[in-house]
């Protein structure tokens, strides 16, 4: 028997070979990937501890995923996005409508919140803010409490237990709630000062009881002939109850939450202020607050204060939060398309007849959504033309919509076809 020749061993690649291959892969990927993704890929590779072989695998996988994520020509992205968000939205109906008591606040989640977002409601049903503090105050609980007191909107009715009067005497008596006074960080002197601004009379702390403030009404406010008029007294008391003491308008309630974070490998904790109510513009002015880390669920307010791009990002974040809280996974690109449609004009518009749908150039598309007769009637008066560019109007008219293979337009030239030589010879 003849001996079998040993198989030739395949030469193993050296480190230099892998480095050269990596350079080639990076150069070729630069022509495929967008500049932003390519630069981020280079940055991540430089920071990683991977060897050249592993880096090649990362580059190849990045290119593969990018190519597979590209949309094919003619893909009806709007329909796919609507289906991808709408179908999970129907499941949210079965899962949750409203969570009560979350973070001691009522927070609207699920389908009602999703409807609020796409309807571009000027004010959410449960507006909330998450306020982060600056470096000096973020780790100090007492400082956080102090800032929270300055933020919470407080009027006299929040810190008093009773306001009374005696018919026939030009005096109103205010009984202070000592616990609430301490909780809100308000002093009796501040209450007296606020009442003084009303110009209804002179207010002073009772000599016998420090928890009582007596307001001696001036004759201009309470003439002698009205001393027995209960309506006049009640009007003054109502005015006193609504008198502003401190805080930011719109912030009904505050709560301090402890949150952990990591800095240079060390675990730390910071204190975050949660609010019921929202007023982004005023909160950004509060000393001790980090204006770059304030969050609010009021999308319209964000766009008004920080601009339309911030509003667009808020729409994306809020929709994804709603879906994820309901345990649903929707690709971010579908949500981004919705956000783009709502904001591309420079202002936030709702998805509906008063917004995106109502501004479609197609009469039939608008009529197919809502108020059909009015849409057709108005279009007839103004003499609008129907171009049949969109899917809805094309299907309504029995035409092939311009999606998929329908985007191909075939035409025949007017030049006559010359007879071939073979046909001439046969004749």
Sheet of strand 201-205: strand arrangement: 160-165, 171-176, 212-217, 201-205
What is residue 159's predicted lDDT score, i.e. its pLDDT?
Answer: 92
The whole-angstrom separation of Cα 133 and Cα 254 is 14
| pTM reported for the whole predicted model | 0.77
Residue with tokens 């299907």, as numbered in its chain: 395
For 254, other C-beta atoms within 10 Å of its C-beta total 23
Mean pLDDT of the chain, nearest integer: 87
What is residue 413's predicted lDDT score, i.e. its pLDDT?
Answer: 74
What is residue 153's predicted lDDT score, i.e. its pLDDT?
Answer: 94
CA 312 from centre of chain: 8
Nearest-5° angle of CA 34, CA 39, CA 42? 125
What is residue 352's predicted lDDT score, i.e. its pLDDT?
Answer: 83
What is residue 419's predicted lDDT score, i.e. its pLDDT?
Answer: 67
The whole-angstrom separation of Cα 235 and Cα 26 is 77
- The sign one gets for the Cα dihedral 47, 49, 52, 54 is negative
Using 50 as the pLDDT threshold, list the residues of the chain that sit under it: 1-6, 8, 94-101, 103
Helices (H) and strands (E) in the chain, counts: 17, 12
The whole-angstrom separation of Cα 425 and Cα 427 is 5
Question: 263 exposed, middle or buried (CB, 10 Å; 0-12, 13-18, 19+)?
Answer: exposed
The whole-angstrom separation of Cα 408 and Cα 68 is 23
């Amino acid at each position: 028997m003849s001996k079998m020749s040993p198989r030739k061993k395949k030469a193993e690649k050296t480190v230099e070979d892998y480095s050269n291959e990596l350079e080639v892969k990076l150069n070729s990927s630069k022509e495929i990937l967008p500049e932003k993704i390519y630069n981020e890929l280079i940055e991540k590779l430089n920071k990683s501890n991977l060897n050249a072989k592993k880096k090649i695998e990362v580059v190849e996988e990045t290119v593969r995923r990018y190519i597979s994520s590209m949309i094919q020509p003619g893909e009806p992205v709007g329909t796919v996005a609507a289906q991808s968000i709408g179908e999970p939205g129907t499941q949210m109906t079965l899962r949750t409508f409203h969570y009560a008591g979350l973070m001691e606040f009522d927070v609207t989640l699920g389908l009602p919140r999703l409807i609020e977002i796409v309807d571009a409601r000027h004010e959410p049903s449960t507006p909330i803010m998450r306020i982060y503090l600056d470096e000096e105050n973020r780790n100090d609980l007492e400082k956080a409490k102090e800032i929270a007191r300055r933020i919470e909107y407080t009027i006299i009715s929040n810190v008093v237990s009773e306001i009374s009067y005696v018919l026939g005497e030009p005096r109103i008596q205010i009984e202070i709630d000592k616990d609430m006074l301490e909780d809100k960080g308000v002093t009796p002197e501040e209450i007296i000062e606020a009442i003084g601004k009303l110009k209804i009379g002179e207010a002073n702390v009772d000599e016998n009881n420090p928890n009582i403030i007596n307001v001696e009404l001036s004759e201009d406010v309470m003439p002698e002939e009205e001393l027995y008029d209960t309506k006049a007294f009640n009007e003054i008391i109502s005015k006193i109850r609504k008198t502003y003491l401190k805080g930011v308008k719109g912030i009904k309630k505050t709560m301090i939450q402890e949150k952990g974070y990591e800095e240079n490998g060390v675990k730390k904790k910071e204190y975050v202020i949660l609010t019921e109510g929202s007023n982004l513009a005023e909160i950004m002015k509060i000393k001790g607050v980090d204006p770059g880390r304030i969050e609010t669920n009021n999308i319209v307010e964000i766009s008004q204060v920080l601009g339309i791009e911030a509003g667009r990002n808020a729409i994306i974040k809020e929709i994804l939060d709603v879906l994820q809280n309901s345990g649903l996974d929707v690709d971010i690109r579908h949500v981004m398309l919705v956000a783009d449609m709502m904001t591309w004009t420079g202002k936030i518009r709702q998805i509906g007849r008063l917004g995106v749908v109502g501004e479609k150039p197609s009469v039939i598309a608008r009529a197919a959504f809502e108020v059909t007769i009015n849409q057709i009637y108005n279009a007839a008066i103004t003499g609008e033309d129907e171009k049949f560019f969109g899917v809805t109007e094309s299907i309504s008219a029995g035409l092939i919509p311009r999606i998929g293979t329908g985007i191909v337009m075939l035409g025949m030239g007017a030049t006559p076809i010359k007879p071939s030589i073979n046909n001439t010879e046969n004749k």
